[in-house]
């Protein structure tokens, strides 16, 4: 083999080595990119899990909105469901707003469904709840 053949062989070997180095660098970049993206996705997943688990495990640490004399989620004794006439005396309610106790016997056809702008008396509210109403109150 002459000098020309050896030189071509040497150049071919150099090109093959260079090609292999480039491929190696590309594989390394891809591996680093994969680890980086995987780490970001893993951290995001961990944050989601922690946001779901931690609030439940910490419980109610602060006295947030609506914290009164009763502990949030505490069981309160039922006061029955006795019907009373308007302006008749009855025991006071143990919750505010009341969820059980003495109330007016309002016939179903006299109940006004929908948004009520005026405040509702406790005895009327309990009649609505007895009929299956859902009440959302504010202020």
pLDDT in tens, 47-86: 999 988 887 666 555 544 444 555 677 788 888 878 888 8
What count of other Cβ atoms lies within 10 Å of the Cβ of residue 125? 21
Cα 15 to chain centroid distance, Å, stands at 59
The structural domains of the chain, with segments of one domain joined by +, span 1-59, 77-139
pTM of the model: 0.46
pLDDT in tens, 17-47: 999 999 999 999 999 999 999 999 999 999 9
The answer to whether residues 116 and 133 touch, using CB atoms and an 8 Å cutoff, is: no
Joined together, the tokens standing for residue 89 give 């005396």
């Amino acid at each position: 083999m002459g000098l020309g053949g050896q030189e071509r062989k040497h150049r071919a070997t150099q090109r093959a080595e260079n090609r292999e180095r480039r491929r190696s660098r590309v594989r390394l970049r891809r591996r680093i990119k994969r680890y980086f993206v995987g780490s970001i996705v893993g951290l995001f997943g961990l944050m989601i899990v922690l946001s779901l688990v931690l609030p439940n495990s910490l419980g109610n640490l602060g006295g947030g909105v609506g914290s009164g004399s009763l502990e949030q989620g505490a069981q309160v004794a039922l006061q029955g469901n006795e019907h009373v006439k308007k302006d008749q005396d009855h025991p006071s309610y143990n919750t505010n707003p009341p969820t059980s106790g003495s109330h007016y016997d309002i016939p179903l056809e006299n109940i006004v469904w929908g948004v009520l702008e005026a405040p509702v008396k406790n005895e009327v509210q309990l009649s609505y709840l007895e009929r299956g109403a859902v009440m959302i109150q504010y202020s």
